[in-house]
Amino acid sequence: MTTAQREARAFLSEFHHRPFSVSDLEKALQAQGFSLVEYSRLSNGRDVTTLLTSLQLFDYAAKQSAFTYQDPNLRIVFLQENLSQQEKMILLSHELGHILCRHLEHTSVTGPGAGVLEEQEANDFSARLLRYNKSCRPRRIAMWAGLGTVVLALVGFLLFGTPSRVNPTVYLTESGRCYHKEDCKFVAGKSNITSISRRQAEDAGYDACTWCFGHNNAP
């Protein structure tokens, strides 16, 4: 059993076949000693600006939708403000994955520079949580079918070493219900977009944009 699988099972064991909420994720972060700070990519109040600047994260935050910081004195999950509940669910479950899988033992801040394997593990943790919530809703496919998809993707990664093709990065807008490629006309040039893996987007109920993916939904 992988660390992500073990930690996801431990988290979900508290809910007994009922869905969890963003509030539950926030409580789980607090239980690990982390506070939540919302910020804007464009303009922040004095307190948030001072905090980001003092941690030398002001420019870094402008490029991220969420990230986690830890040092001997602070434990903070930073989250972009004005996100939908579904976007918060995706991003906070990902950051919780980093924390529970103990990635911050090796780095002070999560994100693209933290390592490919750490991002994969956090994505796996998040996908398991999102899939569980889907299984709690009516008219949803059983969780085992989704788990098979994760296993196949992981096997593909281990055999071929190409996680980007198995589970590429896609992009969400604040109000849309589709995921997009980076060069899609609906996200190009916009600053208020969120980047996640395609599997996370689909587990969260987003559909592929027909303009950039085409009717055959090709990668």
The answer on pLDDT for 106 being more than 50 is yes
Percent of the chain with pLDDT over 90: 51
Burial class (CB in 10 A: 0-12, 13-18, 19+), 52: buried
What average pLDDT score do residues 178-191 get? 83
The answer on pLDDT for 159 being more than 50 is no
What average pLDDT score do residues 96-101 get? 96
Average pLDDT, the chain: 83
The answer on pLDDT for 116 being more than 80 is yes
The answer on pLDDT for 13 being more than 70 is yes
Of 109-113, 128-132, 163-167, 205-209, the range with the lowest mean pLDDT is 163-167
**pLDDT of the residue at 178:** 86
What average pLDDT score do residues 144-161 get? 46
